[in-house]
Chains A and B, each alone.
Chain A
Amino acid sequence: MSALTDLTLAEARAGLDKREYSAVELTRAHIAAVEAARPLNAVVAETFDRALAGAAASDQRLGAGEAGLLEGVPLGIKDLFCTEGVRSQACSHILDGFKPTYESTVTRKLWAAGALMIGKTNMDEFAMGSSNMTSHEGPAINPWRRSGDNRQLVPGGSSGGSAAAVAARLCLGATGTDTGGSIRQPAAFCGLVGLKPTYGRCSRWGIIAFASSLDQAGPLTRTVRDAALMLRAMAGHDAKDSTSVDTPVPDYAAALGQGVKGMRIGIPAEYRVDGMPDEIEALWRKGADWLKAAGAEPVEITLPHTKYALPTYYIVAPAEASSNLARYDGVRYGLRLKGEDLRDMYAKTRAAGFGQEVRRRVLIGTYVLSAGYYDAYYLQAQKVRSVIARDFKQAFESVDLVLTPTAPSAAFAIGEKMDDPIAMYLNDVFTVPASLAGLPAISVPAGLSADGLPLGLHLIGKPFDEETVLRAAETLEEAAAFRAKPAWLEDGGAP
């Protein structure tokens, strides 16, 4: 870690403006960090030459006074984003060698704002997972360690590589995507801020689809302000995505610093789940107290259908995935295995190309959409989904935000929970409801577990009210004064 890599994105951006260092120097510092951190397996494709060329151009624009919002800022990009000429494989074997001829809308907007891509980050295959263990590239490693325990931990998932990279100071921020918690849970596991915007806030064009009605891009950063800056660059209407919403993108950073005075914060009773560790519950209470101390009013609310969220999610998401992943058939791009006939080619290619978790979800999704099961599963899930969204709508008639923990536990070790998909799915229990309702939500690092791992608090807001979410997140951030650093940095980079 150097002084340059430990800057926040906002600090680095200010330093570039003052010409305290050049974008090339800032990029070189991060390249060195990425090279040193290869054992973390957070970055699956390094794009140093491109980053350096971009940095030189950024320096020119900085000199000419034409700098963009994220000028000269090195970012990690989740492998789910299609990036022109650079591998974009969703960390799946089936997309072997796939280099798009096009650039996703979100990354195109980031580059237009002056940001630089330092590499593509590791992730669960097709964003299906909460541990990064399902990646075809092998798992990314969480830079944190339990105190007195050297076992390698998962960074969470699916945006695990992005979270590990930002936590290990390999980049100033990273893009993630969140379908049921894939930004927020890894952010919590790695001591970061992770923001899932309102569904429709960021274009999905050029992001490899997992579950179309849930997928949403967002930033992983070390501070709330950094998240506000990145979101401003990423968000906006896109005519190429029919589900993106045409509403102005505010200056999110400008909303910060206003505090939470007078806000009503809903504390949903239903999120006190069985078996939730005391330290999580205690942190949750602490979060409510912090907001209260800052002038907000915590209010007990009820979101009565919360318990149906997880089963609903695990019908809707696999159903859409089973259809979205049908295009990976070996015909036009990616992996193809020879077969005796067409069917055999499909079967061999998809069996070899998809990992176990992806195959499981494709099978579940195919099942719930099948004739005779559609009504009982998919249709019913859609009805429950609208009921869950209604719960939130009603709650938001009396509160401005909902506060919950981000995940029911801290990061777990590689190997734990691996043989029990249900235990793994339970990681998403607090993040999935906001996904189903399409609401903006953020995870903020709020404290450490007894064994020294970061824990996150989770704020859910009204549709397109990311500003209020960010304002309250900043209040939590200030109150929590989270300063702990991952073992990776404390140890000076030893894995």
Chain B
Amino acid sequence: MSGVVEGRTGPWEMVIGLEIHAQVTSKAKLFSGAATAFGAEPNTQVSLVDAAMPGMLPVINGYCVEQAVRTGLALGAEIKLFSVFDRKNYFYPDLPAGYQISQFSQPVVGHGTVVIDLKDGSTREIGITRLHMEMDAGKSVHDLRADATHVDLNRSGVALMEIVSEPDIRSPEEAGAYVRKLRSILRYVGTCDGNMEEGSLRCDVNISMRRPGEAYGTRAEIKNVNSVRYMMKAIEYEAERQVEILEDGGSVALETRLFDARTSTTRAMRSKEEAHDYRYFPDPDLLPLELDAAWVESLRAGLPELPDAKKARFIEQFGLSPYDAGVLVAEQDSAAFFEAVAAGHDGKLAANWVTGDLFGALKKAGLGIGQSPVSVDRLGGLIERIQDNTISGRIAKEVFEIMFESGRDADTVIAEKGLKQVTDVGAIEAVVDQVIADNPDKTAEFRGGKDKLMGWFVGQVMKASKVKANPQMANQVLAKKLKG
């Protein structure tokens, strides 16, 4: 779906902003020393602070601050040397203190930019409004008993970074590209594992519709989208829903809606009357966060090469297309794998093999790049045999498949299966002679001027040689003999 909905009365444009909650990769919580491992037994990772026992006080986890600042730097954003933790007050059983500690008016990270990569190889800049740190709430479990709600506080106090985008996104594809890019950056700097299934990356969508070029309309906020695919579906549904309302002369309600993955629809979650007054105020238990500029600079200097820079370098250094470069840099490990394969080989060929056959086989086998049965060296070895004409590209695919399944190296597979390319002119001439002799009609047609038959002849030669004939040589010999 493009970003424009063609209504009965004309086109409507989507205006989308995303709020991403990214769980900081940290062994301890934001304000307590309790553990954060996913999947622990309920209420086994809860400190006195997380349970808001009387007299307990939060203490900021410096490592989480470092991770937030590094993320801000990776987003090219302004790092605020002075920021404040506020209390967001509301009552709920999985919020033990009755307030969430967050950053409201003075977040630690200000304006930044994410460059998204689109399918056609083009890019767009999406503004980041801010990034702030906050603690997660616990989890309410309503379905264990009919007459009671159970509360699991393992997540209570886990460090989150809320990353808020500007309303710069214009289509579901762009939204998907934005989340994927942000996730890629987070993984590069190692500040969030980006796992949406486990909830370490959560996404709230703000969407409104407008006539192209006109002022923004009223937005709805969609929660509970826990995959990129669901987010795109939620946007598609919500856009259609809002257009229908608007075209019927109605107005969109400013409300929070819940995405239902089963039906791919959204439904109102909280009405306006229930809107909270969170009574934000600076948390008096915590001092303002003051960062040292030199420390921030040292973090900046320690950042890895980020996806955009790596992509530009791959295009420049290896002559890759922007699309291939984008695919390769999405994951740091893939980029590193590619770069290792490309060392000493043709970069484009390496890119084709990594993004094509290797990624395809890994996906089919459900494996990550780190578990690839074909190592960097072995894929390099295969590419070498293509480059030195030992095998053709087509045979190479066959060799690769065997390598992937057996874990053996290219030379062994080629030798065992006798797949070495025939480059002996005499042997090829014999095959060509045979093909000409077997097909007098076609030979006559070719000689009568039907040049297009050349391809057919090459095919016959390859077939007769069991695809082992060097294709260039087969061409040359055929051309000489047919015309001769």
Contact = CB atoms under 8 A, between A and B. Distances in A.
A326 B53 CA distance: 11
Interface in B72-106: 87, 89, 91, 93, 96-99
Contacts of A371: 277, 279
Given A207-B55, A208-B55, A332-B51, A326 B99 contact: yes
Contacts of B55: 81-82, 88, 100, 104, 204-209
B281 interface: yes
Contact of B59 (A81, A242, A327, A369): A242
Nearest to A200: B287
B60 interface: yes
A90 B59 CA distance: 24
A345 B319 CA distance: 67
Given A82-B54, A371-B277, A327 B48 contact: no
Interface string B363-381: 0000000000000000000
Contact of A366 (B48, B60, B279, B284): B279
Contact of B91 (A213, A240, A346): A346
Contacts of A325: 98
A242 B58 contact: yes
B285 interface: yes
B54 A208 contact: yes
B303 interface: no
B464 interface: no
B89 A326 contact: yes
A319 B53 CA distance: 20
Nearest to B90: A326
Interface in B35-78: 48, 51-60
Which of B56, B58, B89, B281 has the largest count of A CB atoms less than 10 A from its CB? B281
B288 to A, nearest CB: 11
A21 interface: no
A249 interface: no
Given A212-B284, A242-B287, A243-B287, A370 B54 contact: no
Contacts, number: 97
Given A242-B286, A323-B99, A370 B277 contact: yes
Contacts of A101: 48
B236 to A, nearest CB: 34
B281 A369 contact: yes
Contact of A326 (B57, B98, B286): B98
Contacts of B93: 329, 331, 342
B285 A242 contact: yes
Interface in B215-274: none
B47 to A, nearest CB: 10
B151 interface: yes
A75 to B, nearest CB: 18
A280 interface: no
A474 interface: no
B59 A326 contact: no
B97 A243 contact: no
B54 A100 contact: yes
Nearest to B285: A212
Given A213-B284, A327-B98, A329-B98, A90 B89 contact: no
B179 to A, nearest CB: 31
B279 A369 contact: yes
A208 B97 CA distance: 13
Contact of A378 (B58, B281, B286): B281
Nearest to A211: B284
Interface string B133-164: 00000000000000001010000000000000
Contact of A319 (B91, B96, B281): B281
A360 to B, nearest CB: 17
Interface string A310-352: 0000000001101101110101110000000010001000000
Contact of B96 (A100, A204, A320, A332): A332
Contact of B57 (A205, A327, A332): A205
A70 interface: no
Interface in A80-103: 81-82, 88, 90, 95, 98, 100-102
B57 A204 contact: yes
Nearest to B99: A323
A239 interface: yes
B98 A100 contact: no
A239 B59 contact: yes
Given A326-B99, A327-B98, A242 B57 contact: yes
A320 B286 CA distance: 13
Nearest to B279: A369
B97 A331 contact: no
Contacts of B48: 101-102
Given A326-B99, A342-B93, A98 B281 contact: no
27 contacts: A81-B55, A100-B55, A102-B53, A104-B55, A204-B55, A204-B57, A205-B56, A205-B57, A207-B55, A208-B54, A208-B55, A211-B284, A212-B285, A240-B57, A242-B58, A323-B87, A323-B99, A323-B281, A326-B89, A327-B52, A327-B97, A332-B53, A332-B96, A333-B54, A342-B93, A342-B149, A371-B277
Interface of A: 81-82, 88, 90, 95, 98, 100-102, 104, 204-209, 211-213, 239-243, 319-320, 322-323, 325-327, 329, 331-333, 342, 346, 366, 369-371, 374, 378
Would you list the 7 A-B pairs with minimal beta carbon distance, nearest first?
A326-B98, A369-B279, A213-B284, A212-B284, A327-B52, A206-B55, A208-B54
Given A242-B285, A242-B287, A329-B98, 10 more contacts: A88-B54, A212-B285, A243-B284, A243-B287, A322-B89, A322-B279, A323-B89, A323-B279, A327-B97, A374-B281
